[in-house]
Amino acid sequence: MAPHLRSDARYRQRFLKEAERASRLTDQHIAGLYDVLEEGGETFLVMEYVEGETLRQRLQRPLSIEEFLEIAAQCGEALVAAHARGLVHRDLKPENIMLTPAGQVKVLDFGVAKRLPRPEETAATETFEPSTAGGLSGTPAYMAPETLLEKEADGRADIFSLGVVFYEALTGRHPFLAGSFVATSDRILREAPAPLLELNPRAPAELERIVAKMLAKRPAERYQTAADLLVDLRAVQRGERIELRPSPPAPQPWYRRRVLRVTAALVVLAALVVAWRYWPLPAERVSVVVLPFSNKTGVLQLDEYKLTLTQFLVHSLAGSPNLRVFPYEQLLDIVQPLIDKGEDTSSPQTIQAVASFSNSRFVVVPVVHAIGNTLRVEVEFRDGRTGKTVGSTKAERRLSGSPQETLYSLLDELATEIEGYFKDLGRGVEYEARTAGGRPRTATAALYFNEGQNALARGQYARALEALQKAVQEDRDYALAYAWMGKVYGHLGYDDKARAAAERAEQLITADTPVTDAYFIEANLAERRYDLPAAEQKYLELIRLYPDDAAWHAGLADVYERQGLSAKAVASYEEALRRDPHYIVVHQQLGGVYSRTGKSAEALTHVERALDLYRKLGNREGEAAVLLVLAEVFRQKGEYDRARQQAEVSRKLFDELKSEFGRLWATKITGDIYFSEGNNREARRFYQQVLSGSGELRSNRFVVQSLMNTGVTYLREGDLSRAVEYYERSVDQKWSARRERALASANLGVLYIEYGPDPERGFQLAQDALETFRTMGDALWEARSTTTLGIYFMNTGRYSESVEHFQQAERLSRSRDFAEGIALANYNLGRCYFFQNDYARALDALEAALNHYREQKDPFGVALAQILLGWTHARLGDRSMAQALLKEGIQVSQQKGYGELLPDAYTAVGELHRESGDAERARQSFRKGSELWKEPSVSESSIEARSYFGLMEAERGDRERGLSLCRQAAERARRLQHLHTLARTLINLAQVHVLRKEYARAIEDLDEVPVAGERTAGLELRARAFYLRGRALEGMGRSQEAKAAFSKAREAIRSLHLSLAAAHRESFAARKDIQPLFP
């Protein structure tokens, strides 16, 4: 107990009373309080020792939903026990929840009071202790609103605090925590946290609703008792749906509402007394743009420093409380074309153009003069609308050393003069000049840094890196140069170098580093580590400090986009455009997001706006880049000719600009267009150009993507060995682009799982990729990897796990508006039901997949879904629908060269002809499918086709050949490890043995067909297996056993028949190959 509280008799009496009450509380989920001792003026609590770890420590590792629910329910039981005895915890947080090695929850510190800190000690996560009975008690970040307002709190305050804990455990982030007590308190009082499912799509929807109710601002709208909460938690554990009924609202008279608002204001006002220096001021800053320096000295060597001086004057003003300075990177988009043409950047026409494009209220025009041994910078302030001079200032310094160093040393003084002029027009806050840590030590280092930035703006990555490396050689302590090196390496996919440079930048942050630089460096490091949630928090802090700065909103949007949070990305990009309507890159990026989410009209609006702005500026590098985004929009729309036209114009522009990176980018995009169109040969031709490109600096990301897509083109054509070759090359460790290699691993995993020869390796590759994407927060490819694992479980007969994975992948994809992922998950869900012979559900899933593929104008996806949907209709006996779908799917596959789809198609058509009695056409179809068997990777359908072909050869009299073909198929199916394929081939092999009257061997084959247990074949396959067993047993004279087998066959086929929709039962029962199975 704090000394000043020990001397407070009233407080000490209350403390002892609460401790005595707490000591009477005994519950398996609450750490016991055994005694209270006083010794030498000190008060001690004797408490139960709990072995284990805190929930805070446990949250450092992934927590499954099942484990969370058990912890949550036990926490609920602890609150039920405590509240029943009139005890309120007041300080629930992860640090006060212990987990024993046996998995038991123990809540610590019930009824233990705390002290209230002095204002200068306040922090968002410190614990407060009450000085009076109604005072503030607990940890601010976990306090209920009524506790923050120092109102009487009951058990519902504990429910709110526990809701904060639950939200944090489920999402990995606190719902309200900000950079200060004030900001945290304001969020608790006023803001709703982001929807839980946006941050964790794997959580059950009911759990989101429970947590949302726990976090209601008004106690009357929360759970009214912990017992009510516990009931719902246990229901979710059991997998039951719950209905949350709103708590009856408590009437609140007008005067109470007024008092509440006043009290809230007083709490925040009191905290602002402490935090005013760190809180963003509400008034708008004055918008200004700084033109490039004009050199009127006659000293030619200063000409090459004009942009350098401009950049670092802008940088010196960037943290201004009064000025919002137009970013240098955007200024360069406007003035670089003028500089390239040799035009005067201080002319009236330039001033008007810059003011218009930057949307700035004032233009700062700096001009350098030489007066004897003195260098003077005269600055005019022009009205952005009229161009008229409205004021001026100057700064000068005697020449000391080189002219460039003298001018460079003058920048801070110049920034102070500019600030002084605009102070009264802005917020009127005193300006503190940036420390020396805000820029390089020497003008030479600054020049190299500036050259790196300028090269980067032109897409000249090799030159940018060369210049940045010179900058750090000149000034080894300049953190921003390392940060930008990390950005360039990261963009190109040199992840190891990118992370090393970003980490070096972070190590160089000191107390002198400007806060905006520090946050940018930390955000960049988080991005290089693929810790996108951490990067998101850094940008949010920058926005909190400078909410009117469009660049920080754009940076946040980019992080959201990389996490697949399209809606949030769009909102942040739109906010950036609200701040700066001419922010060209944002128009370009927003167009890309809209295109990827299927909103082509909105995409075209923004991309065409960016293109128009770049053309008006004469910025050809920008124009070429936007043309590629426009090509992507047309590709997503399925307008491939228009897409190619834009890509070709872009490539020519990049060739004229001698941009190697741009040319390779355009080449890759052209390959992607042919890839989407289904022209595999042309796609490979362009991807090969990317792979053989001899640029100054290779883009690992382009290389891995091109290798991967080349592999996919071979896979589509059915050339599995070449597909494996390119997939294996794409996962090579020498490509340090971690995300792209994870993509390649996920795709290679699919190939090994689907086609062999090593499904277990495929599973491990997919599992590793999944963990990588989860670490990165990449929900889109987390969904794809989850689908791959679902395919593994499907092929090994673990159907329930497979369905769970496909449904989870669909939920993840829907949470990110990922149309391709939604379609893929539905298609594989349909496959899984098809293999289980659950044809009704298969129809629903496959029709959904087909619709999604059609909306995306994806010819491969459409043909893929049509073939399996046609096969499903064939199994249902709907021959006309089956024929139509299969015919269209085969036609597209043959036209586009989709050889990967033909084994499925030929096997489905063979089944259709066989069922209709056209044995010869069935045999020819199976033969075609069998001929697509290509080692070392063989598709399941080509194996089934060979098995059927063998059966039909045996039926037409060539039983030796038939037996040989069926044995080949069964043996290959064993190595493929696909349960449904093995079951099908074993049943066909057994049928050949029955034809040969080799009944004992038929029984041996059928013994291997899984008809019971955890992994079982579908009902139709089971019915066939039981029926054939009955025939074999009849042939062996074992009539009683045969009758039992026939009975099981009838039972299985009846169950399948009843599961079908009424419209399909008759046609299914009419199938000739099914009729013998019915009684």
Name which of 752, 778, 781, 782 is nearest 764 in CA terms. 752
91 carries an active-site annotation? yes
Structure tokens at 1002: 């038929």
Structure tokens at 1054: 């009846």
Distance linking the first and last C-alpha atoms of the chain: 84
Buried b (16+ CB within 10 A) or exposed e, 709-741: bbbbbbbbbbbbebbbebbebbbeeebbbbbbb
Q: Which tens digit of pLDDT belongs to each residue from 705-758?
A: 999 999 999 988 878 888 888 988 888 867 677 888 888 888 889 888 887 668
- The CATH number, out of the four listed (3.40.50.10610, 3.30.70.100, 3.50.50.60, 3.40.640.10), of the domain defined by the range 286-434: 3.40.50.10610
Structure tokens at 1004: 């041996």
Q: Specify the 3-state DSSP secondary structure of 222.
A: coil
Calpha distance 50→6 (Å, rounded): 28
Q: Specify the 3-state DSSP secondary structure of 864.
A: helix
Calpha distance 215→933 (Å, rounded): 59
Name which of 271, 64, 257, 41 is nearest 148 in CA terms. 271
Name which of 233, 99, 102 is nearest 163 in CA terms. 233
HSE on the CB side for 199, CA within 13 Å? 18
DSSP 92: -
HSE on the CB side for 789, CA within 13 Å? 21
Residue-wise DSSP of 43-63: EEEEE----SEEHHHHTTS--
Place of tokens 């493929």: 976
Quick one: pLDDT at residue 114?
A: 35
Calpha distance 58→53 (Å, rounded): 7
Q: Specify the 3-state DSSP secondary structure of 383.
A: strand
Structure tokens at 24: 């009477």
Q: Which residues contact 111 (CB under 8 A, 6 or more apart)?
A: 18, 19, 21, 22, 25, 33, 87, 89
Name which of 564, 560, 540 is nearest 552 in CA terms. 540
Question: For the chain, what is the total number of helices (H) and then of strands (E)?
Answer: 49, 11
Question: Which runs of consecutive H residues, i.e. helices, occur in 777-835?
Answer: 779-795, 799-815, 819-835
Note every long-range contact of 189-195, with CB atoms under 8 Å and residues 24 or more positions apart, other chains counting: 189/145, 189/148, 189/149, 189/217, 189/264, 189/267, 189/268, 193/167
Secondary structure of 117-176 in HEC code, one letter for each residue:
CCHHHCCCCCCECCCCCCCCCECHHHCCHHHHCCCCCCHHHHHHHHHHHHHHHHHCCCCC
The side-by-side arrangement of strands in the sheet containing 97-99 is 53-54, 97-99, 105-107
Q: Does domain 437-510 have CATH number 1.25.40.10?
A: yes
pTM flag (> 0.75): no
Q: Specify the 3-state DSSP secondary structure of 764.
A: helix
Calpha distance 540→534 (Å, rounded): 10
Structure tokens at 626: 């936007």
Q: Which tens digit of pLDDT belongs to each residue from 796-813?
A: 999 999 999 999 999 988
Q: How many Å separate Cα 117 from the centre of its chain?
A: 40
Structure tokens at 360: 């700035």
Place of tokens 């059915």: 718
Q: How many Å separate Cα 156 from the centre of its chain?
A: 35
Calpha distance 341→338 (Å, rounded): 5
Name which of 517, 482, 488, 516 is nearest 502 in CA terms. 482
Quick one: pLDDT at residue 693?
A: 75
Residue 775 near residue 530 (C-beta atoms within 8 A): yes
Quick one: pLDDT at residue 936?
A: 66
Q: Which helix (H) or strand (E) holds 367?
A: strand 362-371
Name which of 185, 177, 119, 179 is nearest 148 in CA terms. 185
Calpha distance 909→891 (Å, rounded): 13
Ranges in the chain, pLDDT < 70? 1-26, 34-37, 40-41, 43-44, 110-139, 179-181, 241-284, 426-437, 694-697, 733, 735, 756-757, 936-937, 1079
Structure tokens at 831: 């496959």
Residue 193's alpha-carbon distances to 505, 534, 622, 866, 925, in angstroms, are: 32, 17, 38, 43, 59
HSE on the CB side for 844, CA within 13 Å? 6
Structure tokens at 190: 């006023």
Domain with residues 51-273, CATH architecture: Orthogonal Bundle (1.10)
Quick one: pLDDT at residue 1064?
A: 93
Calpha distance 786→279 (Å, rounded): 43
Q: Which of 91, 495, 580, 719 is catalytic?
A: 91
Quick one: pLDDT at residue 426?
A: 58
Calpha distance 775→188 (Å, rounded): 28
N residues, the chain: 1079
Buried b (16+ CB within 10 A) or exposed e, 846-866: bebbbebbeebbbbbbbbbbb
Residue 622 near residue 459 (C-beta atoms within 8 A): no
